[in-house]
Amino acid sequence: MTCRLSVLAISAVALLGAHPAFAQQWTYVSAGDNAVFGVDQSTIRRDGASRTGWTIMAYKAPQSFDGGPKYDFSLTRTEFDCQSERERSFTVTDYSFSASESVESTSLPGSWSYPVPGSIGWRMLEFVCSDARSEDFFDTPRAFAEAARKALLDPK
């Protein structure tokens, strides 16, 4: 019995210790009239002048593409080339507040684009490449998107 309790205790400690590895840190980077943009700081990986991570675009109103399913926010796997000041996306996954899973996912060719200085894309590039970290973040993309929607609808 004591051995079994020890195994359970060790398993519990291991699970608790593993939890932070799955922690997400969705933080605000910029906003437009109809969307708020952010990044999951916990996913940013550095490789020389390159940074790769997950970004979020949370919309003021549900979106739809060519009459497809409606979605409220999109997660994009993005690479930022800090030296050449460019970015490219590999996959976009759309989510609805009313669905428990993604409503659509699209793989992209990963072509480089050059954000215009001062644009939202430029601010995303600057934030990720600066290696800055915010202490203010949301634990899930859904929580980020819900707060963004509220802020866009009631910008007090």
Count how many domains the chain has: 1
Rounded mean pLDDT, 38-62:
96
106-135 pLDDT, tens digit per residue, is: 898 889 999 999 999 999 999 999 988 888
**Residue 60 belongs to some domain of the structure:** yes
Instruction: Please give the pLDDT value at position 27.
Output: 95
**Strand partners for 126:** none
- The CATH number covering residue 69 comes to 2.40.128.710
Rounded mean pLDDT, 38-64:
96
Of 7-11, 49-53, 115-119, which gets the smallest average pLDDT? 7-11
pLDDT band of 22, cuts 50, 70, 90:
low
**Residue 143 belongs to some domain of the structure:** yes
**Residue 3 belongs to some domain of the structure:** no
Instruction: Please give the pLDDT value at position 134.
Output: 86
**Strand partners for 45:** 52
State the average pLDDT for the chain: 85
Instruction: Please give the pLDDT value at position 10.
Output: 28
- In contact, 152 and 36? CB cutoff 8 Å: yes
Query: What's the DSSP call for residue 49?
Result: T
* pTM for the predicted model, two decimal places: 0.82
**Residue 10 belongs to some domain of the structure:** no
Instruction: Please give the pLDDT value at position 110.
Output: 84
Query: What's the DSSP call for residue 129?
Result: H
pLDDT band of 49, cuts 50, 70, 90:
very high
- Domain range for 136 is 24-153
Residues 43 and 52: their CA atoms lie apart, in Å, by 8
Instruction: Please give the pLDDT value at position 18.
Output: 33
Token pair in block for residue 128: 């990720």
**Residue 43 belongs to some domain of the structure:** yes
**Residue 35 belongs to some domain of the structure:** yes
**Residue 81 belongs to some domain of the structure:** yes
Instruction: Please give the pLDDT value at position 20.
Output: 40
Q: Check whether 6 has a pLDDT greater than 70.
A: no
**Residue 76 belongs to some domain of the structure:** yes
Token pair in block for residue 106: 């699209």
Angle, CA 130 vertex, CA 92 and CA 125 arms, to 5°: 35
